[in-house]
Amino acid sequence: MTDLAELTAAQLLDGYRKGEFSPEEATRATLERAERIQPEVNAFVRLLADEALARARESTRRWRRGEPSGLLDGVPVTVKDILLLRGSPTLRGSRTISEQGSWDEDAPSVARLREHGAVFLGKTTTPEFGWKGVTDSPRSGVTRNPYDRTRTAGGSSGGAAAAVALGAGPLALGTDGGGSVRIPAAFCGIFALKPTYGRVPLYPASAFGTLSHVGPMTRDAADAALMLDVIGVPDARDWSALGPPPGSFTAGLGEGVRGLRVAYSPTLGGQVAVRPAVAAAVRQAVQGLAGLGAYVEEADPDFTDPVDAFHALWFSGAARVTQQLGPQQRESLDPGLREICRTGARLSALDYLAAVDVRMELGRRMGRFHESYDVLVTPTLPITAFEAGVEVPKGSGLRRWTGWTPFTYPFNLTQQPAATVPIGTDGAGLPIGLQIVAARHRDDLVLRAAHALYEAGIAAPVPSGLTTAGS
């Protein structure tokens, strides 16, 4: 018997088309999985069973008539609780936001999914206002890793990653301001793409400005390409949104990597200490790319760690998002968030503009780098998942989450497309991710390279989570 909760979006659509099963059956299966895993990992802040089944029944009727309404008709999807979903409160992991209100608008990406018939299962967990690289919040508690419940799922789209990994919907919408789809996807053994900034419109605008991207989190690159075909179109509410894409991202997946110029940077020029198991898995995957016909060269991008500039932009954004809160509300904030808000509030306009200067220079350097190389490959993270409920690994000596995410946040500064691909596990069975980065507007290259890894069996979802959830 086929377990519908374990199928990709593409497999579900194929089954609907052939009449092998219905959207209602698939939605029931994924809702049952979501309810089963929730006590184990805490991936959801809200499940929308009645609404999901109503949409699934409508989709089932359309498929039976042979009249699907869009590219994702009947496919279950989850939405991170940072993004607006009509009819459901968006509380952003914070006790400072009231559930009261009309909640009558969709974010652009959610609106596109609705237009294409997707079925919304629920809202997934986030740290407060998406501020850090792990997922716990005063409002919704700790989200745990699908492969070891004592460890973090990563963040800030941790609930989304855990849901996809454990079969609670094949598609998820996440946001990424410094690695927030890539970090949890790497820790949870799934695929995630941070598209070029503006490719997926965002509304309301993020307080973190043009660092914050919206992206798909899926089981493989093919599902992400399909999802990007749906959500990667302009929306009038986002003044910084890009124009229509030049073509279908799905259509270009099969072109492979033969002749692609790949720069492999294992440590960003010695700047990052990478755990041996992670380094070995990434190196083996890169060798696989070479075996598929890519021209691979070990080469490092020409930049030093831009963490101070990132902090100036990130901390000032955090201060801005909490600016209107009164003293009592501030006391209810995540203590780490409260601390960076104080730091951000002390920064001057000149401090902010100095960080923008660093950002522009970093973008120039990466633009020149990609004149020589089509894609850059690195580890997604130098480590695998650590203890749940803490911002940094215990005993690491690190102060902030950026200390263990040096491969992710630089490419939010540059607004480049970047994806993480699951390439195996460490000795403890924890997933390892490989990051693929391309020049701005070349999301197609990132997806092509990732898809080639899946087609060759070098990348694959990590299976253990599905079998151990709820055991």
pLDDT at 468: 45
Q: Which residues pair with 44 in a beta bridge?
A: 124
pLDDT for the residue 461? 87
The residue behind tokens 């809202």 is 123
In angstroms, the CA 160 to CA 388 distance is 16
d(CA 287, CA 458): 10
* Encoded amino acid at 274, one letter: V
pLDDT at res. 469: 43
Q: What's the pLDDT score for residue 369?
A: 98
β-strand partners of 114: none
**What range does the domain containing 367 cover?**
4-468
d(C-alpha 341, C-alpha 284), whole Å: 41
Q: For residue 256, which phi and psi values (nearest 5 degrees)?
A: 75, -170
Instruction: State the CATH number of the domain containing residue 82.
Output: 3.90.1300.10
Peptide bond into 410 cis (omega under 30): no
Annotated catalytic residues are 80, 156, 180
Question: What distances in angstroms separate CA 470 from CA 73, 166, 226, 355, one per listed residue?
Answer: 29, 10, 30, 46
C-alpha–C-alpha distance, residues 322 and 330, integer Å: 8
Q: Which residue ranges in the chain fall short of pLDDT 50?
A: 466-471
- Domain tally, the chain: 1
At 306 the three-state DSSP class reads coil
> What's residue 203's pLDDT?
98
Radius of gyration of the chain (CA): 20
Q: Which of 387, 419, 388, 425 is nearest to 183 (CA)?
A: 419
Q: What does DSSP say about strands 141-142 and 171-176: parallel, antiparallel, or unpaired?
A: unpaired
* CA atoms of 299 and 365, how far apart (whole Å): 14
Token digits of residue 414: 């540059």
Amino acid at 11: Q
pLDDT recorded at residue 179 = 98
Give the phi and the psi of residue 401 in degrees, each rounded to 5. Answer: -60, -25
- Kindly report the backbone phi and psi dihedral angles of residue 400, in degrees, each rounded to the nearest multiple of 5, phi listed first: -130, 165
- Count the neighbouring beta carbons within 10 Å of the beta carbon of residue 346: 11
> How far is it, in rounded angstroms, from Cα 63 to Cα 61?
6
Q: Take residue 255 and report the two structure tokens written for it.
A: 């072109």
H/E segment holding residue 193: strand 191-194
